[in-house]
Amino acid sequence: MTNDKVYLLTFGCQMNKYDSAMVAGLLRDAGAVFVENAADATLVLINTCSVRAHAEERVYNHLHLLKGRKRHTPGFVLGVMGCMAQKEGEKIAARFPWVDLIVGTRMLDQLPRLLARVRDGAPTPLLAIEEKAEISFGETLARRELRFLSYLSVMRGCNKRCTYCVVPHTRGVEASRPIPEVLAEATRLVDDGVIEITLLGQTIDTYGRDLRDDTTLWKLLRALYPIRGLKRIRFVTSHPRECREELFATMAELGDKAMPFVHMPPQSGSDPILRRMGRGYTRQRYLEVVAAARTLCPEVEFCGDWIVGFSGETEEDFAQSLSLLEEVRFQHGYVFKYSVREGTPAQKLPDDVPAAVKQERHARLAAAQEKISLERNRSRIGVTEEVLAEGPSKSNPRRLTGRTRTHRLIHFPGEAALIGKLAAVKVTGATALSLKGELAGC
């Protein structure tokens, strides 16, 4: 048992958010409480991300800032977990000896036990970065920010070797959870009030492949569909090489519960760059997946990640990214400037696009996306959307904020009683980032 007051800071992707919520669930089950301010905490845990240099630098800043706190507060425990712990554990221990606990991505289920060892006086920093294949949170329920929304990790790791990416080093090889196990967790979540589940996998389309028993993502969707009380199922992240027509056919068939929103990063629109990135598909293949999806499931919308300024990217290559973005007409996109990651294959390639050019391409791609997002959002004006009301709007507490089936943010006037429920909202206005609407009925 622990009577810690915990402050948990999370960087990075949805997988990290899930891991944090599960670790928080374990600590809560062990008696911990959670505080809003690091200053009130007896235990500060940082769940880290290694994907881009910027996220790592922010973690190092936090560790420096917490040095004084550690020195002056008896019994205060500082822990680092997740991708940086996995990749840089030994370096962190040497550079920040005031850190007590360093827990890698595959040891997170052990966190309460490791914390107890620190509390019992084990030498610190205590380093736990073994790469065990299985990680099991048992029957723990995630400690969720919103009671009705949850992530659910269906697989860990990644077997791809995109040359720029650090994930295979930080999260190891692919390991899928069998359908009955996912079903059991989903059922526990729904019994606990969840109505929308987002299934997580680094390349969700290869879910089940390592189980060698014909398990697939679409079979999992079918298995989850009958859970009463589960209203919405989402999944991330899709891979253009692995995404299959069966998935879209299943989504169309399960229309009311399978949300028609696909986050499928192209990274680049240029074949030579895609080859250098080791992505395993061409621009043509990307377009074919989108076309098949739109034929089978016309409601579907796409979201993309882009890397600009990758090694060797010419103005012509970049123009191909711009034109792919315009051809697909993504609903939303995230643009990143290439940053070299240690230990990746691309580290050996020259980082030869000047920072100013990366910056300029970033701005141009983001502006092109913004224009398309605005046009696509405007095309929803007059349509009645099914919206899950998530909470009061940040800018105007008399309004509610929710998400449409295609994950668009929408603000509308409504009673707090609607929070956590599905509502029909007629769209009356749009910006590039969100919609505005009026209740059309409940």
Does residue 13 touch ligand SF4 according to CB under 6 A?
no
Which stretches of the chain bind ligand 5AD, using CB under 6 A? 51-52, 164-165, 265, 267, 305, 307, 336, 338-339, 341
Nearer to ligand 5AD, 231 or 239 (CB): 239
158 touches which of ligand SF4, ligand 5AD, none (CB within 5 to 8 A by kind)? ligand SF4
The stretch near ligand SF4 (CB under 6 A) out of 9-17, 20-28, 164-172, 175-183 is 164-172
276 touches which of ligand SF4, ligand 5AD, none (CB within 5 to 8 A by kind)? none
In a 13 Å sphere around the CA of 215, the CA atoms on its Cβ side amount to 21
How far separated are the first and last CA of the chain, in Å rounded? 44
| Shortest separation between residue 138's beta carbon and ligand 5AD, angstroms | 29
Task: Map 321-373 to HEC letters.
Answer: HHHHHHHHCCCEEEEEECCCCCCCHHHHCCCCCCHHHHHHHHHHHHHHHHHHH
Does residue 160 touch ligand SF4 according to CB under 6 A?
yes
Does residue 167 touch ligand SF4 according to CB under 6 A?
yes
The stretch near ligand SF4 (CB under 6 A) out of 132-140, 163-171, 333-341, 407-415 is 163-171
Question: How big is the CA angle at 96 (ends 91 and 101), to the nearest 5 degrees?
Answer: 85
| Shortest separation between residue 143's beta carbon and ligand 5AD, angstroms | 24
Paired tokens of 246: 């069966």
Does residue 8 touch ligand SF4 according to CB under 6 A?
no
The stretch near ligand SF4 (CB under 6 A) out of 11-19, 20-28, 155-163, 285-293 is 155-163
| Shortest separation between residue 144's beta carbon and ligand 5AD, angstroms | 23
Nearer to ligand 5AD, 17 or 341 (CB): 341
| Shortest separation between residue 278's beta carbon and ligand SF4, angstroms | 8
Nearer to ligand 5AD, 246 or 342 (CB): 342
244 touches which of ligand 5AD, ligand SF4, none (CB within 5 to 8 A by kind)? none
204 touches which of ligand 5AD, ligand SF4, none (CB within 5 to 8 A by kind)? none
Map residues 187-226 to x or -, x wherever contact with ligand SF4 holds by CB under 6 A.
---------------xx-----------------------
Does residue 332 touch ligand SF4 according to CB under 6 A?
no
Among 55, 84, 142, 158, indicate the residue that binds ligand SF4 (CB under 6 A): 158
Nearer to ligand SF4, 231 or 239 (CB): 239
| Shortest separation between residue 344's beta carbon and ligand SF4, angstroms | 9
Site of interaction with ligand SF4 (CB under 6 A): 158, 160, 162, 165, 167-168, 202-203, 239
